């Protein structure tokens, strides 16, 4: 803070130079890899060795985490409340299924194609969310989600309708690693994809681009006054988020060898919002933490009440909001900020 005050006394040209230098330093500090991130990834690798019998649920967590992290780009950074993010997840799932069925059984190719197709849908629909208030955005995103579900249901010749797609099996990953019965390869595959995707999204989110998104979230009009093109930024980030949501959907298809219309169901959109709320928004890893909690809670609940677990999920949502989700997500601030003191450089 004091540095800013000193800076105002310096003459104009040199202050630009120092401001630039300081901005660069700030960006560097924001994007520095934090201590807890390393722990997260070590834990993910350790889980493979420590919990060999829990591979399936761990895979589920990894997929949900990727889905939630992609929503965090839209919600936590751009501030758009979306009720239809599952449209991209579901589209990715179906595309990956169809790829494996008719074209290439190799999963990574399917993953990329699914991401691209979902991204195209994201790009097309992003123009609809530029307009109107929060309410119209809710309506539009919800409408797109429902429309995709209806499309999947109606185009039974392509998607299998209510029965879903089955009877395909993805080939070995990159032609090397065959999926096994215990889901070990599936887990490693999902974690690898989650890692790469999170790193890409992290790079995007903690760049000047991500900062400008947060500015738009804070106040769209003021951010326009400092020359941030809000519309363009929102279109871009919505498309990127759609790509990764599609990748998450594709992962689900490839690890389960099955696509059901459930991938497009409304409750998935609500679930992923809940995941983000549990984990906290605006720093990407909230999706991962939230996915772990949420999947464990859901697993536990569906053992107790197989039919009515939805009630308790609803109750959890209500309680979370009434207590205040900021207050609950505050534990995030206690995560160690710096990897080492030396890097700080101040």
Q: In this chain, which of 270, 297, 332, 335 binds another protein, going by CB under 8 A?
A: 270
The kind and range of the H/E element at 342 are: none
Q: Closest by alpha carbon to 104, among 182, 175, 40, 49? A: 175
Q: In this chain, which of 139, 211, 215, 297 binds another protein, going by CB under 8 A?
A: 139
Task: Give dist(CA 208, CA 228) in Å, integer.
Answer: 11
Task: Give dist(CA 65, CA 259) in Å, integer.
Answer: 19
The alpha carbon dihedral of 161, 163, 164, 170 has a sign of negative
Task: Give dist(CA 119, CA 22) in Å, integer.
Answer: 35
The partner residues of 98 in beta bridges, in order of sequence, read none
Chain positions 305 to 334 lying near another protein, rule: CB under 8 A, are 307-311, 313-318, 320-322, 325
220 binds another protein (CB under 8 A): no
Q: In this chain, which of 48, 195, 258, 266 binds another protein, going by CB under 8 A?
A: 266
Residue 90: CB minimum distance to another protein, A: 16
Task: Give dist(CA 158, CA 154) in Å, integer.
Answer: 9
The site map against another protein for 78-107 (x = CB under 8 A) is: ---x-x------------------------
Phi and psi dihedrals of 165, rounded to 5? -100, 130
Q: In this chain, which of 228, 277, 284, 292 binds another protein, going by CB under 8 A?
A: 277
CB 169 within 8 A of CB 100: yes
Q: In this chain, which of 133, 176, 227, 306 binds another protein, going by CB under 8 A?
A: 133
Residue number with CB closer to another protein (128 or 215):
128
Residue 151: CB minimum distance to another protein, A: 8
Q: Give me the residues that bind another protein (CB under 8 A), please.
A: 75, 81, 83, 128, 131-136, 138-140, 142-143, 146-147, 150, 154, 266-267, 270, 273-274, 277, 307-311, 313-318, 320-322, 325
């Amino acid at each position: 803070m004091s540095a800013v005050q000193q800076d105002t006394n310096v003459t104009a040209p040199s202050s630009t130079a120092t401001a630039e230098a300081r901005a660069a330093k700030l960006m560097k500090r924001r994007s520095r890899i934090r201590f807890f991130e390393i722990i997260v990834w070590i834990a993910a690798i350790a889980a493979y060795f420590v919990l060999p019998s829990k591979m399936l649920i761990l895979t589920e967590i990894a997929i949900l985490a990727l889905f939630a992290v992609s929503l965090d780009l839209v919600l936590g950074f751009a501030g758009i409340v979306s009720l239809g993010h599952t449209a991209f997840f579901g589209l990715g799932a179906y595309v990956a299924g169809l790829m494996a069925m008719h074209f290439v059984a190799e999963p990574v190719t399917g993953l990329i194609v699914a991401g691209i197709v979902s991204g195209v849908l994201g790009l097309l629909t992003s123009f609809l969310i530029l307009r109107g208030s929060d309410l119209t955005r809710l309506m539009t995103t919800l409408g797109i989600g429902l429309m995709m579900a209806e499309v999947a249901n109606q185009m039974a010749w392509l998607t299998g309708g209510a029965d879903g797609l089955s009877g395909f099996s993805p080939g070995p990953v990159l032609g090397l690693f065959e999926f096994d019965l215990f889901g070990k390869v599936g887990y490693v595959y999902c974690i690898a994809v989650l890692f790469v995707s999170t790193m890409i999204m992290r790079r995007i989110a903690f760049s000047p681009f991500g900062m400008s998104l947060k500015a738009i979230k804070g106040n769209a009009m003021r951010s326009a006054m400092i020359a941030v093109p809000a519309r363009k930024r929102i279109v871009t980030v919505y498309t990127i988020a759609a790509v990764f949501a599609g990748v998450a959907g594709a992962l689900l298809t490839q690890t389960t060898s099955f696509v059901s219309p459930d991938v497009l169901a409304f409750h998935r959109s609500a679930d992923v919002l809940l995941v983000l709320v549990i984990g906290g928004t605006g720093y990407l890893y909230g999706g991962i933490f939230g996915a772990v909690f949420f999947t464990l809670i859901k697993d536990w609940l569906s053992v107790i009440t197989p039919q009515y677990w939805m009630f308790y999920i609803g109750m959890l949502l209500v309680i979370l909001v009434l207590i205040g989700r900021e207050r609950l997500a505050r534990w995030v601030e206690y995560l160690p900020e710096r990897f080492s003191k030396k890097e700080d450089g101040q």
